[in-house]
Amino acid sequence: MATVTLHGNAAQTNGELPAVGGAAPDFRLVDGELNDISLADYGGKKKLLNIVPSLDTPTCAISTKKFNDHAKSRDDVVVLVVSADLPFAQGRFCSAEGIDNVVPLSMMRSRNFAKDYGVLITDGPLAGITARAVVVLDGNNQVVYTQLVPEIADEPDYEAALAVL
């Protein structure tokens, strides 16, 4: 279990991020067409998982835009933006913001992703959604970088995450 804050108010997560050097947990998330998506759908590609509480918040929007800009020039990388938002809301956000280089994925059918990645907030007003985190995987789904952002309102360390790609 880890502690994160939102404007200084502490909240607990259910666990820890996957260990660097270990295999990433597989997942079942939902894309914009309501298909179940897993790691196997991106076989062979490096993956940056931008895990956000909701795209309907300023910091989540900023991080998604910044990773979208980076993804424009990388055919060997897929950026997955994971949130509790419904796929329809994710699609509206991406359309409105001109975001087309990342893949928004929803936890609408299950919170298992958040549990397996150790980012499910278990108490306080945000219980049931994710803490802010970045997980980078190589083409074989080995974890090469993780960051649990200590203050949910803060942006992740973009340079560190992108440097390992």
Return per-residue pLDDT of the chain as tens, 165 residues. Answer: 999 988 989 999 999 999 999 999 999 999 999 999 999 999 999 999 999 999 999 898 899 999 998 888 888 899 999 999 999 999 999 999 999 999 999 999 999 999 999 999 999 999 999 999 999 999 999 999 999 999 999 999 999 999 999
- Provide the CATH number for the domain around residue 63: 3.40.30.10
> pTM for the complete prediction?
0.94
Round to whole Å and give the CA distance between 131 and 121. 6
Structural domain containing residue 152? 3-163
Contacts of 128 (CB under 8 A, 6+ apart): 84, 111, 120, 121
Choosing from 60, 77, 107, 114, the catalytic residue is: 60
Structural domain count of the chain: 1
60 catalytically annotated: yes
CB-CB contact of 128 with 11 (8 Å): no
Tell the burial category of 162 from Cβ atoms under 10 Å away from its Cβ (0-12, 13-18, 19+).
Answer: middle
